[in-house]
A and B are shown apart, each in its own frame.
Chain A
Amino acid sequence: MFYREAGQFKSSYAADQQLFPIRQDRIGVLLLLAIAFLVVPFVAGEYWFSAILIPFLIFSLAALGLNLLTGYAGQLSLGSAAFMAVGAYAAYNFELRVDGLPILFSFALAGLTAAGVGILFGLPSLWIKGFYLAVATLAAQFFIVWCLTKFPWFSNHSSSGVISTQKVTLFGYAFTSPREKYLLVLTIVTVLALAAKNLVRSSTGRAWMAVRDMDVAASVIGIRLMPTKLLAFAVSSFYCGVAGALYAFCYLGSVEPDGFSLDLSFRVLFMIIIGGMGSILGSFLGAAFILLLPIFLDIALPWLAGALGLPFSNATVSHIQILLFGTLIMFFLIVEPHGLARLWQIAKEKLRLWPFPH
């Protein structure tokens, strides 16, 4: 009854090509942003900011980056964590080596550095695809982490490559409290998510999807495969790079190369599989899901074990978590390959007809 587009006629193509063509979606998104910017900062506590909201936003950004590459352009990457690492270490070095560089510039430069590295490791996509490419991205994963560990320059000669990030300051203003950092991260993620949404509804996005769906046909209609694929790698790595910089500066404060392991790459991949490949919204839903599930299990499992009188160790909790991740991945791929985003869409379609489905 409330979610219905009947009566909303478009009288121009411009109106039909808006960001959110349906009025209720528009209102919903604006409402969500208003809550995130104006309400959450005043009601959420420290734990919420630093353990849930900030990592959620950062992982959403990383998932978004991978989704542009894998979900939209169809190039499977198993190395997103490595590009996050590039972003984190690049931002650290820009802050370290350029005096008084505003933090936003460092983040942007970190993204660009990651984009450059992304193009380099995207080059194999020009002559290989599918599994071969997935394996090739593993080369990036292992090589980059190794480089950051072994070349002391990257971590300013700290032992085993650990870096402690500098203060987050912008034009003299220091973002110190979790709340301030949350707002900074939220702003960056909002801007980049909007840009991503714009990209995928423009000819850039269409070219990516065309290459994903059928590359021969794409080239026959005039899409140049090489720049299209490399652009996808660059943009994706830019997003992952910025996410990595935020991960280091606004979330953990101190990171080491081994923290950006293959396991983290898989986690980001799981986010887009469960959230929905080829969906901006899905990146956010998937990040929330993958992030919240372990927190939920940490609380629920010991309680459940206590109630049933079973012996339960921490190791078991982590094994169940891994098992559940694996099961969910298979479940979603079998039952709903388009993930949570698709479920949300189905729910909306149901809602359109509610309360009179016939």
Chain B
Amino acid sequence: MRFFLEVLISGLLSGVMYSLVALGFVLIYKASGVFNFAQGAMVYLAALSVVGCMEKGAPLWLAIPLALGIMTLFGIATEKFVLRKLVNQPPIALFMATIGLAFFIEGLAPMVFGSDPRALDLGIVDEPIEAILNRWGMVISRFDLVAAGIAALLVTVLALFFQYTRIGRALRAVADDHQAALSIGIPLQHIWAIVWGVAGFVALVAGMLWGARNGVQFALTFTALKALPVLIIGGFTSVPGAIVGGLIIGASEKLAEIYLPPLMESAFGGNFGGIEGWFPYVLALLFLLIRPEGLFGEKHIDRV
């Protein structure tokens, strides 16, 4: 039971990290209807920018705003040179364009900042918290806890930002109906630039946390693949959905990783590790069978 709890908690903690990446998708999807496949590449770019600036001699406190600047500029450029030109295309074309964007970043970023994996030290150690270990005998990483705390804070701030600020309201109006938002005088392109900036910021936080944990390397782009099933479960448009979806995926993935392979091994023989690559997807698909619109998504009615 103690072991189960330990697995569950570490699963939930990494689930928060998934939520963080998923949030980047949700922000852009809500405001512009674009399913931004490049979100993972943006996480990679953000983390690389931080270590790249530090290698050029900038201290961490300076590297972070510099990286944020890079991400914002990049977001604005994407909006101006790619998305704006695709405004009247079907959503699926926009989606494919963001796959192109992902490749663009994955080629460009290592050319500018170098491609060898590097460590990023945020000053948080990745070791078990002793108090918990002594009291309950569970191994919970301090880093995971702090990272989850930061992620949770960010998610809360963004949710509040969306709900209560003027820009947040404008964002939601844009998401509901572009034409209507334009007609009441919301500057669309302005809003999109802000959204891409915010998404870049989310990518930066995710990139630094994931990068500090696993090293800054190409594999950071795969964080997007972790976030996609989260989106399916939570719905593409829901901030709370991204959070709950992340927790569900994180916890069930860790549990499945521990408990499923032994079952399969006793049934088929052999070694069945590495199920985390597909398990979230299959889970998300089964979930879709029951709720096609996601946990918090709205039911869609075809009007003809």
- Asked whether the complex places CB atoms of A and B closer than 8 A, the reply is yes
Structural contact, A136 and B97, CB atoms closer than 8 A: no
Smallest CB separation, A329 vs chain B (Å): 3
Structural contact, B108 and A323, CB atoms closer than 8 A: yes
Structural contact, B231 and A135, CB atoms closer than 8 A: yes
**Is A204 in the interface zone, CB < 8 Å from B?**
no
Main secondary structure of the interface of A (DSSP, over half): helix
Residues from chain B with a CB closer than 8 A to the CB of A131 are 35, 91-92, 95, 236
Smallest CB separation, A152 vs chain B (Å): 6
**Is A143 in the interface zone, CB < 8 Å from B?**
yes
Distance, CA A151 to CA B261, complexed state (A): 12
**Is B102 in the interface zone, CB < 8 Å from A?**
yes
**Which of B99, B100, B275, B289 interacts with A327 by CB under 8 Å?**
B100
**Is A324 in the interface zone, CB < 8 Å from B?**
yes
**Which of A124, A130, A149, A216 interacts with B288 by CB under 8 Å?**
A124
Q: Please judge, given known A-B contacts A131-B35, A150-B274, A319-B110, whether A333 and B93 are in contact too, CB under 8 Å.
A: yes
**Is B304 in the interface zone, CB < 8 Å from A?**
yes
Structural contact, B231 and A139, CB atoms closer than 8 A: no
Residues from chain A with a CB closer than 8 A to the CB of B95 are 76, 131, 134
Structural contact, B275 and A146, CB atoms closer than 8 A: yes
Smallest CB separation, A249 vs chain B (Å): 26
Distance, CA A136 to CA B270, complexed state (A): 27
Structural contact, A326 and B35, CB atoms closer than 8 A: no
**Is A48 in the interface zone, CB < 8 Å from B?**
no
Segment 120-151 of A: residues with Cβ below 8 Å from B: 124, 127-128, 130-132, 134-136, 138-139, 142-143, 146, 149-151
Residue of B nearest to A313 (CB): B115
Residues from chain B with a CB closer than 8 A to the CB of A142 are 277-278, 281
Residue of A nearest to B41 (CB): A326
Distance, CA A269 to CA B231, complexed state (A): 22
Smallest CB separation, B243 vs chain A (Å): 19
**Is A316 in the interface zone, CB < 8 Å from B?**
yes
**Is A337 in the interface zone, CB < 8 Å from B?**
yes
Distance, CA A76 to CA B278, complexed state (A): 19
How many residues of chain B get a CB closer than 8 Å to chain A's CBs? 48
Smallest CB separation, A305 vs chain B (Å): 13
How many residues of chain A get a CB closer than 8 Å to chain B's CBs? 44
**Is B82 in the interface zone, CB < 8 Å from A?**
yes
Structural contact, B272 and A150, CB atoms closer than 8 A: yes
A-B Cβ contacts below 8 A, count: 128
Distance, CA A58 to CA B2, complexed state (A): 54
Distance, CA A243 to CA B237, complexed state (A): 38
Structural contact, A326 and B232, CB atoms closer than 8 A: no
**Is A334 in the interface zone, CB < 8 Å from B?**
yes
Distance, CA A24 to CA B8, complexed state (A): 68
Distance, CA A316 to CA B108, complexed state (A): 10
Residues from chain A with a CB closer than 8 A to the CB of B43 are none
Interface flags, B212-232, vs A, CB<8A=1, else 0: 000000000000010011011
Structural contact, B104 and A138, CB atoms closer than 8 A: no
**Which of A76, A130, A323 interacts with B103 by CB under 8 Å?**
A323
Structural contact, A323 and B107, CB atoms closer than 8 A: yes
Most A CB within 10 A of own CB, among B272, B273, B302: B272
Distance, CA A182 to CA B99, complexed state (A): 33
Interface flags, A320-331, vs B, CB<8A=1, else 0: 111111111110
**Is B144 in the interface zone, CB < 8 Å from A?**
no
**Is B253 in the interface zone, CB < 8 Å from A?**
no
Residue of B nearest to A327 (CB): B104
Structural contact, A337 and B89, CB atoms closer than 8 A: yes
**Is A343 in the interface zone, CB < 8 Å from B?**
no
Segment 88-140 of A: residues with Cβ below 8 Å from B: 124, 127-128, 130-132, 134-136, 138-139
Structural contact, A132 and B288, CB atoms closer than 8 A: yes
Q: Please judge, given known A-B contacts A127-B292, A131-B91, whether A329 and B99 are in contact too, CB under 8 Å.
A: yes
**Is B124 in the interface zone, CB < 8 Å from A?**
no
Structural contact, B232 and A325, CB atoms closer than 8 A: no
- Write the residues of chain A forming the contact surface with B, with a CB cutoff of 8 angstroms: 74, 76, 124, 127-128, 130-132, 134-136, 138-139, 142-143, 146, 149-152, 216-217, 220, 262, 266, 269, 273, 315-316, 319-330, 333-334, 337
12 pairs from A and B in contact (CB 8 Å cutoff): A135-B232, A136-B281, A146-B275, A217-B304, A269-B99, A273-B96, A319-B108, A319-B111, A323-B107, A326-B101, A330-B100, A333-B96
